[in-house]
Amino acid sequence: MKGDYQDLVDEISALLGAPATLENRDFRLIAFGAHDSEDDLAMDPVRTRSILTRQSTAAVRSWFEGFGIARATGPVRIPAAPDAGVFRGRICLPVRYRGIVQGYVWLLDRDPGPGPEALEAAMEVAQRIGVLLAEEAKAGADLSREFLAVLTAGRGWQQDMAVAALRMALGAGAEGLHAAVCVAPWAGEAPSSVPGAAAVCVVPPEGLATGPGRLAVLLRLRSADALPPALTALGRLLPRAAAGGAVAAAAGTGTGGAAGTGRGTGGPARVSPAAVTAGAVRAVAGAETGAAGPEGAYAVTAGVSDPVRGLGELPGAWGQAVASARAAAAQPALGPVAQWAGIGPYRMLAALAAGPVDDPATRALLSPAHRELARTAEVFLDCAGQAGRAAAALGVHRQTLYYRLGRVEQLTGLDLDAGEDRLLLHMALKAARLNG
């Protein structure tokens, strides 16, 4: 289908004698015509940034939308605005299907610009593009529904039927490796598309719970050796969404084709169990939006499963992704993007600690009144019981550490010189953090 879009964009470019660019309604780049010009004004800051980074600021997008392009049924001329980095005017051709905007075709305006007949012919081509975009959106909605059914169906025949339906919806894409990604919390709708994703959906809270759900992304993998690029592409969507008011919602923004292309659609990503790149970590963390919470915790975290072969393994992969996202939220050192292979003891704790910790020995210590003592015990156990390391990590004198540990033993009745007591306390502290 990508080739169909390119052919239609080239047809508009030929009709209007200018390179055209096509974006969907989320300002994501779909196709663009070649541009061969020595005109320095053709590469103004907005367009340059968009082409190089495949994205633009929300402010620039809002500026273009202020000219009514989402409501327009015919060509819209947008004047130059040097103060905004737009050195050349633009022509926007809204792409619609049954009255609903599906995207935009953009061209650099010129003097004299294309005449009414040429623009009318170009709008006819834009209508054909609208049909393709609407069909693609419907297919994406079907995939989201089938993917959600696989993640939420009970065991047995219901899950088997859901997997079979997803396999049919994916077609040839059902074969090969996949990985599940969980982004939480997620308060908005699912993005219309995610680079490298075969399907995207929002999983609502379990049971009768209310509030934000979780974003589920099914990554299609070509191989098992390039996960960082796939997650970097995914991560680029999240900071802007968080800044826009949802915890992490809408797909990327852009500036309008020749005016500045949006984010690329991306192809199937290559994946590996390797650690996520620093760029992806910063992006998903919302480092650009101040998404970090108390004590370095992240407001939005993501978890990534191990690659799996076979759609029947997706429920298990989703469990890994959810556990990894929870671990990233519990332990900032792991996040904001955590992979199942790298969360250590939280792999086991996620399965064991399905609810709040209520062990009689640790109940008092885990109350809000003894938060500092609980932190002292956790750091001490993280340091393998080495008092010097623990005191340095806590920034206290060793005698202060000993006093606090004595108070911990009094509250819990546990002996910190006994291995099993240490194990119980350490597990309780980590489980409480995971469920916190």
Is the confidence at residue 375, as pLDDT, over 70?
yes
* 332 — pLDDT class (breaks 50, 70, 90): confident
Higher pLDDT, 40 or 57: 57
Every domain range in the chain assigned CATH 3.30.450.40: 2-136
Question: Mean pLDDT, to the nearest integer, of 305-324?
Answer: 90
- State the average pLDDT over residues 70-76: 93
Higher-confidence position of 160 and 273: 160
What is the reported pLDDT for 223?
66
Q: Residues 64-81: what's their mean pLDDT? A: 90
pTM of the model: 0.58
pLDDT confidence tier of residue 141, bands split at 50, 70 and 90: low
C-beta neighbour count of 79 within 10 angstroms: 10
For 130-136, what is the mean pLDDT?
A: 82
Of 44 and 95, more confident: 95
Q: Is 74 exposed, middle or buried (0-12, 13-18, 19+ CB in 10 A)?
A: exposed
Residue with tokens 């780049």: 29
Q: What six digits make up the tokens of 353?
A: 């600690």
Q: What pLDDT does residue 369 have? A: 92
Rounded CA separation 329/331 (Å): 6
User: Taking residues 120-149, what's their average pLDDT?
Assistant: 83
Q: What is the pLDDT of residue 42?
A: 55
Specify the range with the lowest mean pLDDT, choosing from 219-233, 328-342, 393-407. 219-233
DSSP code at position 282: H
Q: Which CATH number fits domain 368-435: 3.30.830.10, 1.10.10.2840, 3.40.50.720, 3.40.50.300?
A: 1.10.10.2840
Residue 351 vs residue 384, higher pLDDT: 384
Note the Cα 272 to chain centre separation in Å. 18
In tens, the pLDDT along 5-39 reads: 899 999 999 999 888 888 888 777 788 776 555 55
Using one digit for the tens of pLDDT, what is the confidence trace for 101-120?
888 999 888 878 889 999 99
- Contacts of residues 13-17 at CB distance under 8 Å and 24 or more positions apart, as own/partner, are 13/107, 15/114, 15/118, 15/121, 15/122, 15/125, 16/91, 16/107, 16/114, 16/118, 16/119, 16/122, 17/114, 17/118
Confidence of residue 168 (pLDDT cuts 50, 70, 90): confident
H or E element at residue 199: strand 197-203
> What pLDDT digit, counting tens, does each position of 221-251 carry?
876 655 555 566 555 554 443 332 222 222 2
- Is residue 267's pLDDT more than 60? no
pLDDT band for position 184 (50/70/90)? confident
Q: What's the rounded Cα separation, in Å, for the pair 347 and 235? A: 23
Q: Which of 247, 324, 319, 255 shows the shortest CA–CA distance to 62?
A: 255
CATH fold for domain 2-136: Beta-Lactamase (3.30.450)
Residue 1 has pLDDT above 70, yes or no: no
Indicate if the pLDDT at residue 391 is higher than 90: yes
Residue 286 clears pLDDT 90, i.e. is over it: no
Average pLDDT of the chain is 76
Residue 428 vs residues 66, 119, 377: alpha-carbon distances, Å: 54, 68, 11
- φ and ψ at residue 215, rounded to 5 degrees: -85, 130
Q: Is 415 left (phi over 0), alpha (psi -120 to 50) or beta?
A: beta
Average the pLDDT over 385-395 and give the result.
Answer: 93
Beta bridge partners of 28: 263
pLDDT at residue 264, as a whole number: 31
Residue type at position 288: E
pLDDT at 300: 85
Residues 19, 34 contacting (CB under 8 angstroms): yes
* Separation between Cα atoms, residue 367 and residue 360, nearest integer Å: 12
The span from the CA of 204 to the CA of 60, in Å, is: 32
pLDDT(275) > 60: no
Domain with CATH 1.10.10.2840 in the chain: 368-435
Three-point CA angle 145, 230, 337, nearest 5° = 85
| Bigger pLDDT: 237 vs 323 | 323
How many Cα atoms within 13 Å fall on the side-chain side of residue 374? 18
- pLDDT value of residue 196: 72
Tokens, residue 51: 């082409």
**pLDDT for residue 235:** 56
According to the model, what pLDDT value does residue 381 have?
92
